[in-house]
Amino acid sequence: MENLNQNIESHYLKEKLYEDIINRLKEQNIPLDNVKRSDIAGTDEFHVRGAAVSRELASSINLNGLNVLDVGCGLGGPCRMLADEYNCYTTGIDLSNEFIRTANKLSELVKLNDKTTFVQGNATELPFDNNTFDVVWTQHVQMNIPDKKKFYSEINRVLKTGGHFLYYDILKKGKGEINYPTPWASTASLSFLFKAEEMDTILKELGLTKEQSINQSQAGIDFFDALVDRLKEFGPPKMGLNVLMGETTKPKLMNLLSHLKTGDLELQSGVYKK
């Protein structure tokens, strides 16, 4: 498992990520003492449809003022959005040291470090007490985790009774083989896809009740099609997912788009209550 975690961290690793973001802000003549969340949103929301789908997920329950944990927080964009727009106190945890270092620095940059906390850690061994959070939130994370029961058991453990689990995920749907690389895995050895029905079974066994699930696949396809058109016309954006994936951005995104279109993969969001 330790080797797997190291390989996953290596897959996502981009050295000096924060410094790269700063340089890109300078290239756009954005004053570093007045950086807004919107200036970095193209990069710090590492999931299909970015900030737009995070807002959709946030609107699915009344989040105002709640204590939220983001499992697999990446660069912390959703945590900052929830802190800024919903007055939440947010904690993010991620396996990647570089993501956590960058997340903390970006929160300082946009002056939200008083309401956001980021820690490096393992999603299957959360370093928090039982019944700590009003909401646990996760987006595009479980694909890298083989032990689904442990992952969701830990989420359930740290969630308060009456609290909500919010997710937005990439799930297996058809029987076709998945072509790699994808945004979450360079090879099949890093990918542990499962189906929505399997997730639902695990969560219900833990005592969680499903309140809603939404098929997000077509919205994701539309997003990618529009992105491809923009790339053809304008080239790579100054602040986009290419900051994280570099020259591998196109093959990773095209493989994901292809599998969404064939129905081998699906995007789904949803809400469960403890």
pLDDT tens readout for residues 136-174: 999 999 999 999 999 999 999 999 999 999 999 999 998
**Which tokens belong to 167?**
């997710």
Count CB-CB contacts under 10 A for residue 256. Answer: 23
More confident residue, 232 or 266: 266
Q: What is the mean pLDDT of residues 94-106?
A: 97
Residue 188 has pLDDT above 80, yes or no: yes
Q: What is the mean pLDDT of residues 43-48?
A: 91
Q: What is the mean pLDDT of residues 75-86?
A: 97
Sign of the CA dihedral running 41, 59, 68, 267: negative
CATH of the domain at 22: 3.40.50.150
Quick check: helix, strand or coil at residue 197?
A: helix
Domain count, the chain: 1
Residue 135 has pLDDT above 90, yes or no: yes
Q: What is the mean pLDDT of residues 184-198?
A: 96
Domain span at residue 237 reads: 2-273
Residue 2 has pLDDT above 80, yes or no: no
Residue 126 has pLDDT above 90, yes or no: yes
Task: Phi first, then psi: give them for residue 182, nearest 5 degrees.
Answer: -130, 170
Cβ–Cβ < 8 Å for 7, 190:
yes
Write the DSSP symbol of residue 141: -
Alpha-carbon dihedral 22, 27, 31, 33, rounded to 10 degrees: 10
Residue 191 has pLDDT above 80, yes or no: yes
Nearest to 95 by CA among 103, 106, 107, 84: 103
Task: Phi first, then psi: give them for residue 70, nearest 5 degrees.
Answer: -105, 110
Question: For a pLDDT cut of 90, what percent of the chain falls above it?
Answer: 86
Paired strand residues for 92 = 70, 118
Nearest to 95 by CA among 40, 141, 48: 141
Give the pLDDT band of residue 1 (cuts 50, 70, 90).
low
**Which tokens belong to 165?**
């689990």
* pTM of the entire predicted model: 0.96
Model confidence pLDDT, tens digit, residues 15-34: 999 999 999 999 999 999 99
Q: Check residue 228 and give its pLDDT.
A: 84
Q: Tell me the pairing of strands 159-172 and 265-273.
A: antiparallel
- Give the ranges where 90-185 is alpha helix by DSSP (H): 97-109, 148-158
Count CB-CB contacts under 10 A for residue 126. Answer: 21
DSSP H helix total and E strand total for the chain: 11, 7
Residue 231 has pLDDT above 90, yes or no: no
Q: Check residue 14 and give its pLDDT.
A: 87
Q: Check residue 236 and give its pLDDT.
A: 83
Cβ–Cβ < 8 Å for 252, 182:
yes
Q: Check residue 13 and give its pLDDT.
A: 87
Cα within 13 Å of Cα(64), Cβ side? 1
**Which tokens belong to 29?**
């003549």
Give the pLDDT band of residue 84 (cuts 50, 70, 90).
very high
Q: What is the mean pLDDT of residues 98-125?
A: 97
